Amino acid sequence: MASSSSSSTERRGIPGAQFVEDVETYLNQSGLDVNSALSFLQERLQQYKLVEMKLLAQQRDLQAKIPDIEKCLDVVSTLQAKKGTGEAIIADFEVSEGIYSRASIEDTDSVCLWLGANVMLEYSCEEATSLLQKNLDNAKASLEVLVADLQFLRDQVTITQVTIARVYNWDVHQRRMRQAAGTSTDS
C-alpha cells in the first residue's frame, strides 16, 4: 500500500488508488470539496467492482478450461500409448448434452480437436500434444496474471474504501468543530 498521498500506480489498465494521509491536503491539491471527493471515490469504487466482476468471469472460464485441456492431453497420451498394441480403446463420448455414444478406437495416427467457433481440425497425435500443451501453458500463465490482477484490484478497493472513510470522518469532525466553535461564541 502506498504511504504517500502522491503515490499512484497502475497495473494492466487498472488505475491505482491513492492512499490519503492528510484529507485536507488531498482536498486542496485535488481542488475538490468533500462531496465531490466522495462522489469521485464512490465512482472509482464502482469502476473497480465492475472490473473485478469481469476478471472473476475470466478466471472462472480459465479454471474450467484448464481441466478440459488436461483431459484432452490425457486422451491423446492414452491413444499414443495404445498405438501398435492391437488393443482397441472403448470410449463413451458425448454427442449432445446428455446423449452419449460408445466407440471402439483402434490404432490411430491422428485426432480431431475442437478449436472453437464450430471449427474442428485433424492433427497428428504429436501435433495435438504440442498444441494442447501450448494451450495449457498459456491458460495457466493467463490464470496467474489474472490472480495477480485480482489481488492488485482488491488492494485498490481496500485503499479506496479506507480513503472514503477517512474523508467522511474528516468531514464529520470538521462539522463538529464548526458547530462547537459556533456554540462557544454564542455563549
Task: Please give the pLDDT value at position 184.
Answer: 65
Query: What is the C-alpha separation between 53 and 55, in angstroms, rounded?
Result: 6
Mean pLDDT (the chain, rounded): 90
Better pLDDT: 31 or 7: 31
Yes or no: domain 25-174 corresponds to CATH 1.20.1050.140: no
Give pTM, 2 decimals: 0.76
CA-angle at 57, arms to 54 and 61, nearest 5° = 140
Triad 185, 186, 187: Cα angle to 5°: 95
Contact of 170 with 23, CB cutoff 8 Å: yes
User: For a pLDDT cut of 90, what percent of the chain falls above it?
Assistant: 67
